[in-house]
Amino acid sequence: MKVIYCETYGPPEVLRLVEISKPQPKNNEILVKIQATTVNSGDVRVRGFVVSGLKKLLMRLVLGWSRPRNPVLGLVFSGIIEEVGRDVTKFQVGDEIFGMTGFRMGTYAEYICLKESSVQAKKPAQSSFGEIAALVFGGTTALYFLKKAGIHKAKKSVLVIGGTGSVGVASIQYALSCGAEVSAVCGPSGMALVKKLGVEKVYDYSKGNLDAQLDTYDVIFDTVGKYSKKDFIKNLSPKGIYLTVESWDVATESIEMLEEIVSLLKAGKMPAVIDRTFSLEQIVDAHRYVDSGRKKGNVVIQVV
């Protein structure tokens, strides 16, 4: 089968297409023929080992010291179950599913074996494989952080910094679905997208002095990790919460999150926003595009 190998950390060019043996599922595993995956900020950070400070040591222990422990990168997938182990009861051959492998990675491939208990769920019939794959990384990250801020329990004012990335888009969508008053920060080229999502107040970071432009918010979520809480002290309400993807708190995913994403999708509250679609053979180009910072929403890799 075809896979994308990353045998050392570095620029997009370290990725190469190779052929390896098709895996065989164990008794408690399913074999998934992957239809689509994505390239997001998590993927490019792993590939380029874009980690700062004390996190470098931790991430080397988790991912691999001088190169990825699993050379097949990729965090999310959607696909069709082609084979099931004899002890599998939850899924059957032909089921269309989607999910996230986290630090296990392995989705830049035509096939993957996963435990029946892995973070995966049935794909909704109304979405394509590319659309549902596009929702996983941003959606689970948004749910993880914003639920910690309690926006699903009480109406709050929310500022999303980096409103055009996969996490930013999903955060805006989820916050709006919770009834929050949502504002966003992005560059000039992202204004139209953010406003289309339903955000009325959008700030342009390129104008500088961002804190001077902003109102006061109950929750500020930096989805790109470029700032710190001290940059926005005066923009937080007395009990305001500052969240950032660059904290030591690493987002985790769950089956319940995937099911909530499906519910939001069915309700029309979290449609997929796809910027570009590449083939598996174009993975280097896809990573270059995400590295450029021009991505709006999600970049999908169509494996089949």
Q: What is the CATH number of the domain that holds 297?
A: 3.90.180.10
pLDDT digits (tens, 9 = 90+) for 107-119: 999 999 999 999 9
Q: What is the pLDDT of residue 295?
A: 95
Q: What is the pLDDT of residue 159?
A: 98
Rounded Cα gap, residues 5 and 72, in angstroms:
5
pLDDT digits (tens, 9 = 90+) for 142-158: 999 999 999 999 999 99
Looking at the domain assignment, is residue 265 inside a domain? no
Regarding whether 289 and 231 lie in a shared domain, the answer is: no
Asked if pLDDT for residue 244 goes beyond 80, the answer is yes
Regarding whether 159 and 279 lie in a shared domain, the answer is: no
Looking at the domain assignment, is residue 266 inside a domain? no
Rounded Cα gap, residues 139 and 5, in angstroms:
26
Q: What is the pLDDT of residue 133?
A: 98
Judge residue 129's burial from the number of C-beta atoms within 10 Å of its C-beta, 0-12 exposed, 13-18 middle, 19 or more buried: buried
pLDDT digits (tens, 9 = 90+) for 65-104: 888 999 999 999 999 999 999 999 999 999 999 999 988 9
Looking at the domain assignment, is residue 202 inside a domain? yes
pLDDT band at 227 (very low <50, low <70, confident <90, very high): very high
Q: What is the pLDDT of residue 64?
A: 85
Q: What is the CATH number of the domain that holds 178?
A: 3.40.50.720
DSSP, collapsed to helix, strand or coil, labels residue 232 as helix
Average pLDDT over residues 186-195: 96
pLDDT band at 30 (very low <50, low <70, confident <90, very high): very high
Do the beta carbons of residue 270 and residue 173 sit within 8 Å? yes
Looking at the domain assignment, is residue 253 inside a domain? no
Rounded Cα gap, residues 258 and 118, in angstroms:
12
Looking at the domain assignment, is residue 87 inside a domain? yes
Q: What is the pLDDT of residue 50?
A: 85
Regarding whether 107 and 143 lie in a shared domain, the answer is: no
Looking at the domain assignment, is residue 91 inside a domain? yes
Regarding whether 164 and 105 lie in a shared domain, the answer is: no
Average pLDDT over residues 280-287: 98
Regarding whether 197 and 85 lie in a shared domain, the answer is: no
Rounded Cα gap, residues 114 and 304, in angstroms:
19
Regarding whether 8 and 83 lie in a shared domain, the answer is: yes
Of the listed ranges 45-54, 137-146, 195-204, the least confidently predicted one is 45-54
Regarding whether 228 and 107 lie in a shared domain, the answer is: no
Regarding whether 184 and 166 lie in a shared domain, the answer is: yes
pLDDT band at 55 (very low <50, low <70, confident <90, very high): confident
Looking at the domain assignment, is residue 257 inside a domain? no
Smallest CA-to-CA distance from 136 within 302, 246, 300 is with 300
> Based on the structure, what is the number of domains in the chain?
2
Share of the chain above pLDDT 70, in %: 100
Regarding whether 239 and 114 lie in a shared domain, the answer is: no
Asked if pLDDT for residue 171 goes beyond 90, the answer is yes
DSSP, collapsed to helix, strand or coil, labels residue 274 as strand
Regarding whether 145 and 111 lie in a shared domain, the answer is: no
Asked if pLDDT for residue 54 goes beyond 80, the answer is no
**Amino acid at site 300:** V
Q: Last residue of a domain, which of 195, 224, 244?
A: 244
Regarding whether 99 and 126 lie in a shared domain, the answer is: yes
Average pLDDT over residues 269-288: 98
Overall pTM > 0.85: yes
Rounded Cα gap, residues 123 and 133, in angstroms:
9
Regarding whether 11 and 105 lie in a shared domain, the answer is: yes
Q: What is the mean pLDDT of the chain?
A: 95
**Domain assignment of residue 216, given as a range:** 136-244
Rg (CA), the chain: 19
Looking at the domain assignment, is residue 249 inside a domain? no
